Amino acid sequence: MADPFDLSIPAERWLWKKDTLKEPTILQSFAFDEANEHLYVLQLTRGGSTAGDLCLNRLDLRGKRLGHMYLRGFGHGVSMGVQHTSDGTVWIWTEADAKGGYGRGVTRFRFVDGAVRTREDVKVRHPIPGSTHNQPSVCPVSRRIAVRHRVDDKPRYRIWDLDAFVARDYSEPVADFPQTGAHPDPKVPFQGYALHGDHLYQLAGTAYDARTNPPAKRGNVHVSCLDIRTGRLLDRQRTEAGHSLDHREPEGLAVRHGSEPRLCLGLASGQEGARRFSIYYKPQTA
C-alpha cells in the first residue's frame, strides 16, 4: 500500500498563476489522469453556486486548456476523482443531484468537450441515503473510493472497494469515520481532500484578509492526514506554499501517482471575475 506523505516537507511550485480555466471563477478541486497526462479542474460557474452548476476543464500538464464541459445542478465541486477501466475508458467522478448547491449523491461520466450534462443525463448513486454534501475521491493505488458527506450536518467519510461501489454494492464499506482535525480552528472552512492508500489528506484554510488572515503572517492554510483504518489524525501542518499570491485561497487537494508520488494543493489568486490558479506539491520524501 502507498506510503504516507511527510507533511513537514515544504511544498514546491508546479503551476503558477494560470488563467486558462473556462470560467473566471476560482478552481474548486482537481484530479489527474496520469495515463493520458491530463489535469481535470472543477469550478463553479459565475452565479451558479446556489444551483450547483459546475464547469469541468480538461488541461494538459502545463496548464493549457484542452476542452471543457458544463454540469448543471451537480454540486459545489469540493472534490472529484478519475477512474481508469480495463478497456481504457476514463470515468470522471463528481457529486451530483444538488440541493442548496451541494450534491446529495455522486455519479461518474465520460468527458465530452463542449457537452452540457444535467441530472437526467447521468446515473446518480446515493450510497448514504439521507446524506448531503456528497463528495468523492478515487485512489487508483488501492482501487477504493471515498465519499465525504454530511449526516445531521456532521461531516463523515465512508470508503468502499471501487469495484463493489461501481456494482452498487454499498453493504460492506472499508471504513466509516467522522471528519476530524482538518484545522486547529474548527470554524475555518474545509477546502478539499484526497484518498491515497490507507491515508486520507485534508485541506482547510481561508483567503487572505487584512484583519483576520493578513498576508504578512503568510496565511492559515493547513494540510492534515488521517489513517482510514482508525480514523485517527496522524499529522497536521501549516503550509506557506504560495504565500506571495494575492487573495491566496486554498482550493482542492489531489495526488499525482507514479514513481514519485506528489500531494498537490490548489491555490486561487487574482481579483474577482479574473481568478487564476496555482498548484503546489509536496513530494513523498525530501
For residue 205, give its domain range: 12-283
Residue that has been written with the C-alpha cell 469515520 in this structure: 177
Q: Within a domain: residue 4?
A: no
How many domains is the chain built from?
Answer: 1
Q: Within a domain: residue 3?
A: no
**Residue 285: pLDDT band with limits 50, 70, 90:** confident
pTM, to two decimals: 0.97
Which amino acid is residue 43, in one-letter code?
Answer: Q
Q: Cα separation of 58 and 215, whole Å?
A: 31
Residue 194 maps to which CATH number?
A: 2.115.10
179-205 average pLDDT score: 98
Question: Helix H segments across 188-275?
Answer: none
pLDDT tens digits along 98-144 = 999 999 999 999 999 999 999 999 999 999 999 999 999 999 999 99
How high is the pLDDT of residue 186? 95
Given a cut of 90, is residue 172 above it in pLDDT? yes
Residue 115 CB contacts under 8 Å (≥ 6 apart), including other chains: 69, 70
Q: Within a domain: residue 1?
A: no
| Residue 212 near residue 242 (C-beta atoms within 8 A) | no
Closest by CA to 196, choosing from 171, 230, 238, 226, is 226
Given a cut of 70, is residue 286 above it in pLDDT? no
For 215, phi then psi, to 5°, come to -55, -30
Q: Within a domain: residue 228?
A: yes
Nine-digit cell string for 258: 507514479
How high is the pLDDT of residue 3? 85
Given a cut of 90, is residue 37 above it in pLDDT? yes
How high is the pLDDT of residue 72? 98
Q: Cα separation of 27 and 42, whole Å?
A: 6
How high is the pLDDT of residue 60? 98
Given a cut of 90, is residue 263 above it in pLDDT? yes
How high is the pLDDT of residue 234? 98
Q: Within a domain: residue 45?
A: yes
